[in-house]
Structure 1
Amino acid sequence: MKALKIAALSLVMFSGLSLADSSPLTTVNEYMAAWNAHNVPLAAQYLAEDAVYYDAAAGEPITGREKAEKEVIGAFIKAVPDLSWKMIGKPVYDEDTVAFRWEFSGKNSGEWAGSPPTNNPIKFEGVSYIHVKAGKITWQGDYYDSKKLDAELKPVK
């Protein structure tokens, strides 16, 4: 009987750990860590196959993991190979959504949207709103001051 109680307690404890490991916040933290490790394929693995990525500055959503890997994650990491993407303050989250303020910084030492590198430092803030289902990001919306970023990307004369 005692062994049965211990087994039941272990099952409850371990199932709780697996739920905690797959929380939306854990998924987002691991996704950001992959970005900060500059690992494009690893970051893309956190996206659902049919994920939608919306960048408010671009205006048009990108649909699908493969496109987001190339046109968002890959493009940013190519343009700013030393990028740092970090949360500012505490995120707000529930069972399937994480929202947080962030700061993005680094040096534009790679091509950005067809433009040659400026080697300018960039640093701007924004907000992300991310939906997670079964440990995969299904929708990400990023909102930031694109005019500030554009100014930082202008070649110094």
Structure 2
Amino acid sequence: MALSPEENNALCLEFFETAWNTGVVREDLLTADALDHSFVGGKSKTEPGSGSFKQIIGMFRHAMPDIHLTLLDQIYVADKVVHRWSLTGTDTGGVMGMPPSGKTLTFTGTTTVRMSDGKIAERWANVDELGLLQQLGVVPPPPGA
């Protein structure tokens, strides 16, 4: 059964806050064939099921065990939910294959979700990887910054 846009947003809030802030991926909030359209570390992939969600969240939680998601904006209509967010954590495990920096990192992104019958059916995310790499000192900041 289709849920209201508000109910869809509430389920997305529950899923992403739980996943990022505790490391628990709520498979009961995903369709069995949920698609994660990810673009992380310069590689694009689309993978059905919960594996991709678990891999990405696990990768960042391993690198930054104290990682915390803060939602900055929420937009929802019909079966779509869009969140603009920031993640903050201390790099003790090495982000994106880099050696641990010990730095507190903050990066932002946007996640778009398509809901189906009260569950997440698809997810697309855009992450400010350039900003993250600049904080790690891998990429120089822009001139005058």
**Residue in structure 2 matching 1:62, options 37, 43, 46:** 46
Q: Note if 1:76 corresponds to 2:57.
A: no
Deviations 1:37-74 (A, max 9, x none): 322343x4433232222334534123123421442121
Identity of aligned residues (%): 23
The answer for the alignment partner of 1:117 in structure 2 is 100
Gaps of at least 5 residues in structure 2 are 139-145
Q: Per-residue deviation at 1:125?
A: 1.7
RMSD: 2.5
Q: Normalised by the size of structure 1, how large is the TM-score?
A: 0.72
Question: Which position in structure 1 is the counterpart of 2:71?
Answer: 87
Structure of greater Rg: 1
Output the CA distance in 2 between the equivalents of 1:145 and 1:33: 19
Q: 1:61 to 1:125 in 2, by over 3 A?
A: same
Q: TM-score by structure 2 length? A: 0.77
Q: Distance in 1 between matches of 2:129 and 2:90?
A: 16
Residue correspondences, number: 135
Task: Give the match for residue 26 of structure 1.
Answer: 10
Matches of 1:60 and 1:53, distance apart in 2: 10
Provide structure 1 residue ranges, at least 5 long, that are not aligned to the other structure. Answer: 1-18
1:51-102 Cα shifts (integer Å, max 9, x gaps): 222334534123123421442121121111111112113x111231101211
